[in-house]
Structure 1
Amino acid sequence: MAILPSALLHIDDIARDTVAVHFRKPDDFQFQPGQTISLTLPSEAPDAPPLRHTFSLVSAPHENELCIATRVRASPYKQALTRLRPGAELKFSGPYGKLTPPADTSRPLVLVAGGIGITPCVSLLRDATHQGSDRPIRLLYSNRSPAQAAFLEELRTLAQRNPHLRLLVTLTGPADGAWDGLRGRIDAAMLRQALQGLDAPQCYVTGAPAMVEEIRARLAEAGVPDDAVLDESFHGY
């Protein structure tokens, strides 16, 4: 697959220890919502090995720039990324990935995301809302705290704009008295709430590997067939 040139536009803080990285979209680049790219950073030394990482695109296809989001860690890649300044030359390949909308536009979609696993879901929901899709969509999103919940306010806005989208958010850590959402780890009851009333939904599960494995098992217990579940594990995020 071809390596495409790009350039950094800006980096924004969007949640605790989490940034969104915006970069130029090549004119001939096309992708589907929910897909990923492999992003290569400029070398900091002539003999340094290239730094590459795979990210889900937050952007929707209709948008005129590309965006990924990531937790900031102590890894060489993440530290080099946060040191970049606008105009830095980037390269990427893609798109990759299978978390794209079902071809049958009437088939419901259930998205289950933990932490920064929300990124492909944002792309899917931006696209569905922009397209005016009448596909029933449920999003069940888990974080430790509101401060760590990337894109939460945007997701609430999308749910207001899209009458076919229902947003369920749960916190696994402490929250102040103003929090009126769900509490605790995603369990069978929450999944039943997300699945309720939907006919043969396609389910996408994104997050840490242990969370993905647990949710797949709970979906199987709820009667969702294995071929109706796609997942993407986020390692080292």
Structure 2
Amino acid sequence: MAEDVVRLFLRLPENEALEYLPGQFLELLLPEGKTRAYSLASRPERSHNLELHIRLVPGGLFSDQLLTSIKEGALLRFRGPLGSFFLRQLSLRPILLIAGGTGFAPIKAIIEETIALGNSRPIHLYWGVRSKANLYLNSVIKEWESTQPHLSFTPVLSEPGSEGEWNGATGFVHEAVLQDHADLSAFDVYVAGPPQLIESVKKSFPAQGLDDQRLFFDAFSYAPG
């Protein structure tokens, strides 16, 4: 994983399971009535073991606890599943999946679900991060590419300079999508990441033919308190 991202697994009691759709999120219930929302990064079949990707935010209420006081086996409470960001299974359209940072978590769940169901709809995954080191779980994506001929992957680095030579896409991830796809009218588009990414997609993609009814998004905000 990246140095600022932790992969957290929650194990439910053996007699319990969580029914959810890939792409949805849950809210961890913290002291003093506070909550933190995290997308589920695992597909529903593994509903006894829930995977979350936690960005470590300096001064973050939960991420600081994760590093200091929360140990393996600790009891955590949550509510969920929540959210309307999930894969529309009945559509036959090709899919564009766009992730920014830890927005990769719900996108991972969606891809794993399509693979498990044998869905062969063309999928193009774009993942925007600062540097190559932030492409955590890149080995998982490479395995997908090697076994799923209908899936392609474009990583996009916003700050590639510190990584030495980089021949891939650079800049903003939504701009890389627009450069590759002049006509978006045929696609279903799923976007997960910071609010700035969501707003950029909402403003620019319709101009290249995307029907706003085919755009599905989940905005992440990083709360330090």
Secondary structure, aligned partner of 1:94:
strand
Residues 1:29 and 2:18 aligned together? yes
Residues 1:40 and 2:29 aligned together? yes
Which consecutive unaligned segments of at least 5 residues does structure 1 have? 1-13, 44-48
Secondary structure, aligned partner of 2:199:
helix
Instruction: Mark the CA change 1:158 to 1:25 in structure 2 (over 3 Å): closer, same or farther.
Output: farther
Name the CA distance, whole Å, in 1 between partners of 2:73 and 2:174.
Answer: 44
Aligned to 1:207: 193
Name the CA distance, whole Å, in 1 between partners of 2:26 and 2:145.
Answer: 27
Deviations 1:190-229 (A, max 9, x none): 3342x47876221111111112111222211211011111
Aligned to 2:40: 57
Which consecutive unaligned segments of at least 5 residues does structure 2 have? none
1:211-230 to 2 correspondences below 5 Å: 211-230=197-216
Secondary structure, aligned partner of 1:89:
coil
Task: Give the TM-score, by structure 2 length.
Answer: 0.87
Secondary structure, aligned partner of 2:209:
coil
Aligned length: 216
Aligned to 1:151: 137
Name the CA distance, whole Å, in 2 between partners of 1:202 and 1:123.
Answer: 17
Cα contact 1:35–1:100 (8 A) shared by 2: yes
> Percent identity among equivalent residues?
27
Selected match of 1:77 from 62, 82, 90: 62
Residues 1:122 and 2:108 aligned together? yes
Deviations 1:142-182 (A, max 9, x none): 111011223222122212221111111111112322x3421
Task: Give the TM-score, by structure 1 length.
Answer: 0.83
Name the CA distance, whole Å, in 1 between partners of 2:9 and 2:220.
Answer: 20
Superposition RMSD on alpha carbons, in Å?
2.1
